Structure 1
Amino acid sequence: MRTFRSRLIQLHHCEGVNWKVIQSFLTFDPTLQSIYDMSAVTLTKFGLDFRIASRFYHDLHVTKPWKTNGLGEMRVITRYDEEYPERLMHIYDAPWVIYCMGNLRLLNTPSLSVVGTRHPSSHAESCMAHVLTPVVQYNITVVSGLARGVDTLAHRLALRHQSGTIAVLGSGFKHIYPKENIELATVIAKNGLLLTEYPPHRVAERTQFPERNRIISGLSKGTFVVEARKKSGSLITADQAIEQGRDVFCLPGRLTDLHSEGTNRLIQQGAKLILNSEDILCEYDEFQEKVASTI
């Protein structure tokens, strides 16, 4: 007999289901049991066109129930489980289900999200080492998105100092993106944590990366933006952090540098300008006394 938890996870694996559709299902029937008695036509009332509703119906009734898909170490956590991260619980559109590989304890440690350009300058790399090395030495977990550039540098810096790091993916575990970071993802799964809201079979799609940004910001007290153009995914993450009531920290850059235009604008709009690690650490209540004693 299906439990509510197994019904939620199976729905989450069905084609065409997104956050809003599951919310509509739960509003209609908090047990999710009646969904199994609906026809494809009835399912269209929940925001699915008939083509998608038909595929959803097939997945629900014909496809075998979800399994770990050969990923034996994968943990599946629903929004109703005790293991669900407390910080993520409080964002507006918290994922209904998350898939994890690695150290789940990192979900409840002090953390800092780090985002930025896919093509960081050498200046950015040296500044990241200057600012973030003391931060990770306080065992603050670095959260980022496994993307090229700043994300990769942030994960590697945390691993190098044997500090925790969480990589939030925009795809399922069977389709790590970008491919050149598959090895890095493997290392993080062993020494940190891989996390995604997408089932293992879900391939990377353009729309999923802005969606995952809310998780990157939602897992942390603050988001540190290293370098970002005027229009970039990093600014989406910063906007998400602001909407979630989290801190936004920015590395200042040269006025003529296009990769710093976005971060400089954020500072102009009220983000905290970061010159050293103390500027970040002093915002964490648990480290304020230690930081004050070193200044």
Structure 2
Amino acid sequence: MDNRDTLIWLNNIRGVSNKIIEKLEKYYVDIKNIWYSSNDDILRIQGINEKTKLEIIKLKDYSYYERIMENVDKLGIKVVTIYDNNFPNRLRHIYNCPKVLYIKGDLLIEDHISIAIVGSRKVTAYGKWAAEKFATELAKIGVTTISGMAKGVDTDVHRSTIKSNGRTIAVLGSGLDVIYPKSNKNLYEEIIYNGCVMSEFPLGTQPFAYNFPQRNRIVSGLSLGVVVIEAGEKSGSLITAQHALEQGKDVFALPGNINSIYSIGTNKLIKDGAKLLLSLDDIIEEIIELKDISKKINVDNRNIIDYEELSEKEVQIFKCIQEGTIHLDMISYKTGINISSVTSILTILEIKGIIKQLPGKLFSVK
């Protein structure tokens, strides 16, 4: 057993946290030396409770380690430790750095250019639209999206990225063999073929509530910056934003209706100094790594529209919507086209797949 093997073994023992591993590293210098340590010596270690020390002694068995590796191999899971060269560099320097990562799919060099997008599980139509919009736009300029595969915003982010032929990473709050929520089983498989799913929790770990705030530091740690779409007053997304700030990352928040409970968190983030998010340009302007990418792509023309295929009135209405999400009545007012005709033309533009209707007779570019 070398240091790497020992780290994986310890990660699979109940009660052994990253902080306990750090204490063992300090005590033994080379953590593998625990294998040559007597039971009495292990029991003398300070700062670790007796129950955990007894569990370590009980499972100090090479066959236990072999079973762990057999199980991950059977499921096609890669194990990456902090001792490995391919361990994500950004995670090495965060507080409470994970020691072991379980990965299914491929974590590529290009995933270094990534943005985390998080938000409420109970997403509104506005939040869904924004999550899809920013995930799609980031995917189209080659930026990997990161989220947590939860219901709501996370799911919309992963799906929109994949639909746009982009790469996405899901960081789970459970073992990789425990898909949560179960309704995302198909999405889980799609992510594997368009990025990867990742967890610091060993196989069999259930999605306990206290796992999610812990995993959020990895979501932010992997990324260049964090986008918060919608968040309640005590949302887990705010924990991700806090981790990001502590890690020196930019946080972008989508402004929302002051009457919406799902925008209390994002509006407060903006009030406290988060970057106001109105367009993809707001992200690109703040993150230097994205500026080089954006130079190669005309960000303002991500959806290339062949105006020759549109009638004069269709072009007029489409350009009106391009300026930003707009109400049916305002389209009629700005274009001078009567409501009846506007309604018909909007239907045609929707069928052509270049605009989409939102609740409340609002329209936006797709």
Q: Which amino acid aligns with 2:54?
A: S
Which protein, 1 or 2, shows the higher relative CO under an 8 Å CA cutoff with sep ≥ 6? 1
3-state SS of 1:162 partner? coil
Deviation at residue 235 of structure 1 after TM alignment: 0.4
CA distance 1:87–1:255, shift in 2 (3 Å): same
Deviation at residue 74 of structure 1 after TM alignment: 0.9
Q: Distance in 1 between matches of 2:176 and 2:102?
A: 8
Deviation at residue 46 of structure 1 after TM alignment: 4.6
Q: Does 1:31 align with 2:30?
A: yes
Conserved? CA contact 2:141–2:294, under 8 Å: no
Deviations 1:9-38 (A, max 9, x none): 111111211011001001111211332324
CA-based RMSD of the aligned residues comes to 2.0
Q: Which amino acid aligns with 2:258?
A: L
Q: Distance in 1 between matches of 2:13 and 2:299?
A: 53
Q: Report percent identity of matched pairs.
A: 37
Moved more, 275-284 or 165-174: 275-284
Deviations 1:81-128 (A, max 9, x none): 110111112212211111111112067431000111001100111122
Q: Distance in 2 between matches of 1:191 and 1:290?
A: 20
Q: Which runs of 5+ in 2 are unaligned?
A: 301-366
Residue among 82, 85, 100 paired with 1:82: 85
Tell me the residue number matched to 2:354: none
Tell me the residue number matched to 1:64: 64
Q: Distance in 1 between matches of 2:83 and 2:42?
A: 27
User: Higher Cα Rg: structure 1 or 2?
Assistant: 2
Conserved? CA contact 2:117–2:131, under 8 Å: no
Question: Would you say how many aligned residue pairs link Structure 1 and Structure 2?
Answer: 294
Deviation at residue 132 of structure 1 after TM alignment: 3.2
Deviation at residue 192 of structure 1 after TM alignment: 1.3
CA distance 1:67–1:40, shift in 2 (3 Å): farther
Moved more, 58-67 or 160-169: 58-67
Conserved? CA contact 1:112–1:220, under 8 Å: yes
Correspondences of 1:1-295 after superposition (within 5 Å): 2-36=1-35, 37-39=37-39, 42-43=42-43, 45-61=45-61, 64-65=64-65, 66-69=68-71, 71-105=74-108, 108-288=111-291, 291=294
Conserved? CA contact 1:170–1:196, under 8 Å: yes
Moved more, 3-12 or 250-259: 3-12
Q: Which amino acid aligns with 1:33?
A: K
3-state SS of 2:60 partner? helix
Deviation at residue 8 of structure 1 after TM alignment: 1.3
Conserved? CA contact 1:12–1:199, under 8 Å: yes
Q: Distance in 1 between matches of 2:46 and 2:178?
A: 29
Q: Distance in 2 between matches of 1:40 and 1:107?
A: 48
Moved more, 168-177 or 62-71: 62-71
Segments of 4+ moved more than 4 angstroms: 289-295
Conserved? CA contact 1:217–1:240, under 8 Å: yes
Normalised TM-score (structure 1): 0.93
3-state SS of 2:234 partner? coil
Q: Which amino acid aligns with 1:117?
A: S
Q: Which amino acid aligns with 1:55?
A: E
